Amino acid sequence: MTSLIRLTAVAAATVLALTACGQGEPSPATDSPSTPGTSVIAAFYPLAWAAEQVLGGDSAVTTLTSPGAEAHDLELSPQQIASLPDADLIIYLEGFQPAVDAAIEQSGATNLLEVGDVVDLLPLPEEGHSHDDEDGHSAEAEDDAHDEDEGHAEHGSDDPHFWQDPMRMALLIDALAERLPVDEATVESAKETLTGLDEAYSTQLANCERREFITTHAAFQYLADRYDLVEIGISGVNPDAEPSPARIAEVHDEAERHGITTIFFETLTSDAVASSIAGDLGLKTAVLDPLEGVTDKSPGTDYPSIMTANLESLVAANECN
């Protein structure tokens, strides 16, 4: 009789333990996040990072652009589009990713934060010709300018890469804090991090041998504008665009005129153009990450560490002290 009572008690305890464990597991029948709290969908990585700083740990932030994918050429799955109306907030940048703009319209989602409404954006820079060309362009340079005009139409009239300015990222965090539940600790930490990045850039780039830098992807206008640098983009705002021979010749001239030591390229696209120009001129190549996504090839693991790595690269290339 005693043995039977003991066996019954053990069986009951086992059932209770299994039931308790089962309550913490997500249902296999649903695709919704298991993390409790506010559900946010961000179009690409810097927007997701900002949302995570506001929300803290008790929320699910989904990024539409997968790590390693080129943000400019994003294509969305039917499942991603269907998920949009259920989000508590969708953060996107109109004109940067046409697929996201179309999906939002198609889905009828209304809980939106368009970054251009809360962050001051700069117009797209003029590209496709030498900075010193005052009397017009060659035929090949005109072709480059036409190609860039098509890229401008695809991306709208504003430069999307605002996150290269840490203080504009701080403005986004402020705007998100008005729309989302706020984790005060993570928000304060993020704002301190962004202020620290701004101070480090300002201090370390104050005294340099040159202010110009050359990069394959013209994604650093905001950085150049804030820290008194001059960005020379080889291929414009579209990282996959192929520069013409005329544009490459112009870049050669500018590199020699400004005493450039390094041609910068990014991790998500080929370094062939940068390597070719650097090889022609006997220069070095290095990564300057546009921070549109984070992969195992990125020079850091998150927004602050990659921004720090970019600063170190600029300091070395421009011989700052």
Do 43 and 100 touch, CB atoms closer than 8 A?
Answer: yes
Q: Which two tokens stand for residue 45?
A: 């990585």
- The reported pLDDT for the residue numbered 147 is 44
Using 50, 70 and 90 to split pLDDT, how confident is the model at 36? low
The pTM of this model reads 0.81
Candidates 26, 55, 54; CA nearest to 38 is 55
Given this model, what pLDDT does residue 278 score? 97
Q: Poorest-confidence range of 30-34, 36-40, 65-69, 192-196?
A: 30-34
Which token pair is 49? 């990072």
Question: Coil, strand, or helix at residue 60?
Answer: strand
Spatial CA neighbour of 73 closest among 292, 265, 295, 220: 292
Interacting residues of 112 by C-beta distance below 8 A, sequence separation 6+: 89, 90, 92, 104
CA quadruple 195, 197, 203, 205: dihedral positive or negative? Answer: negative
Q: 3-class SS at 90?
A: strand
Question: What pLDDT, on a 0 to 100 scale, did the predictor assign at position 131?
Answer: 38
List Cβ neighbours of 312 (8 Å cut-off, separation of 6 or more): none
pLDDT tens figures, 142-179: 444 444 444 444 446 899 999 999 999 999 999 999 99
Instruction: Report, as an integer, the average pLDDT of 228-249.
Output: 87
Is residue 290 within 8 Å of 300, Cβ to Cβ? no
Q: Is it the case that residue 311 has pLDDT exceeding 60?
A: yes
Residue 129 gets which letter from DSSP?
S
Please give the distance of CA 1 from its chain centroid, rounded to a whole number. 69
How many Cβ atoms from other residues are within 10 Å of residue 101's Cβ? 17
Distance CA 150, CA 180 (A): 37
Q: Which two tokens stand for residue 278?
A: 């650097």
